[in-house]
């Protein structure tokens, strides 16, 4: 039986700045049922305070503490280790989620090179700077804020963080530590926050790899919605999600009757 829900944002509750029909009502019904709920997203372009404001504007009130993002997860992980500064390749607004963490420039060489979605701000010079930091110290860790390949914008698909992480992995000859979907560590943090056993926790998203299958590989349940970046070809491969929903509007019905 499902005992808790993880909800993706973009593609599930909204597309860009447009709410998905029925999403706000579905979230209200889930909350009213008493089901523990956490919003989880690979968004790194804005802090979770801004995400909470956006959700509220779309009719889905949420406290920032109900939103788990890769920057929040990565900052907690690095603070716990306390073994060196970080170079943060993230948008300026997202620096808010890294407060209290020692960062470069202006200090010693970085122990961590943290890469998020910079969008159009990515340039050869910026990507090369991250590579040089990794190349200069074999102990420096590459930290990826998610491995989302692309996101669906109003003008079409846009590159997300994964292609840039792949370039750095190739050039620096090391694997990234991933703090975001589909990382099992990210899903474990979400389960801990809700206090729900992973095998009773349902992830609802529009990305087959990062959301539905990533959750299943981490021991959770996975549901794929036919909105956002969903394509019919997502269902043609050998791996399938536990459920496929027309949209998040179908979630309350699944929770009322969904045993697995």
Residues forming beta bridges with residue 14, ordered by sequence position: 10, 19
Q: Does the structural domain 83-178 have CATH classification 3.40.50.1000?
A: yes
Give me the tens of pLDDT residue by residue for the chain, a chain 260 residues long: 899 999 999 999 999 889 999 999 999 999 999 999 999 998 888 899 999 999 999 999 999 999 999 999 999 899 888 888 999 999 999 999 998 887 776 566 899 999 998 989 999 999 999 999 999 999 999 999 988 888 877 888 889 999 999 999 999 999 999 998 989 989 999 999 999 999 999 999 999 999 999 999 999 999 999 999 999 999 998 999 999 999 999 999 999 986 54
Judge contact between 215 and 21, C-beta under 8 A.
no
Question: What's the CATH architecture for 4-42+181-257?
Answer: 3-Layer(aba) Sandwich (3.40)
CA distance 14 to 9: 7
Across the beta sheet with 177-178, the strand order is 103-104, 86-89, 112-115, 141-144, 177-178
Residues forming beta bridges with residue 177, ordered by sequence position: 143
User: Roughly how many angstroms between the first and final C-alpha of the chain, as a whole number?
Assistant: 6
The yes-or-no answer to whether 4-42+181-257 and 83-178 have a common fold is yes
* Domain boundary assignment for the chain: 4-42+181-257, 83-178
Q: CA 94, 213, 210: angle at the middle one, nearest 5? A: 20
């Amino acid at each position: 039986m499902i005992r808790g829900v993880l909800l993706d944002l973009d593609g599930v509750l909204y597309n860009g700045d447009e709410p998905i029909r029925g999403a706000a009502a579905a979230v209200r019904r889930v909350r009213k049922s008493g089901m523990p709920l956490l919003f989880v997203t690979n968004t790194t372009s804005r802090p979770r305070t801004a995400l909470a404001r956006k959700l509220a504007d779309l009719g889905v009130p949420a406290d920032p503490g109900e939103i788990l993002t890769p920057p929040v997860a990565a900052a907690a992980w690095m603070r716990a280790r306390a073994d060196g500064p970080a170079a943060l390749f993230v948008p300026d607004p997202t620096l808010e989620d890294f407060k209290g963490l020692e960062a470069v420039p202006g200090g010693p060489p970085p122990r961590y090179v943290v890469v998020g979605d910079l969008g159009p701000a990515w340039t050869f010079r910026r990507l090369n700077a991250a590579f040089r930091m990794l190349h200069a110290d074999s102990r420096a860790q590459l930290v990826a804020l998610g491995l989302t390949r692309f996101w669906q914008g109003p003008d079409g698909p846009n590159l997300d963080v994964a292609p840039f992480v792949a370039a750095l992995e190739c050039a620096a000859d090391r694997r990234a530590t991933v703090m975001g979907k589909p990382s099992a560590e990210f899903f474990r943090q979400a389960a801990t926050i809700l206090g729900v056993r992973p095998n009773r926790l349902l992830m609802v998203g529009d990305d087959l790899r990062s959301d539905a299958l990533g959750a299943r590989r981490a021991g959770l349940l996975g549901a794929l919605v036919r909105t956002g970046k969903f394509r019919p070809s997502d269902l043609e491969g050998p791996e399938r999600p536990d459920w496929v929903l027309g949209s998040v509007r179908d979630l309350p019905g699944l929770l009322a009757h969904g045993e697995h």
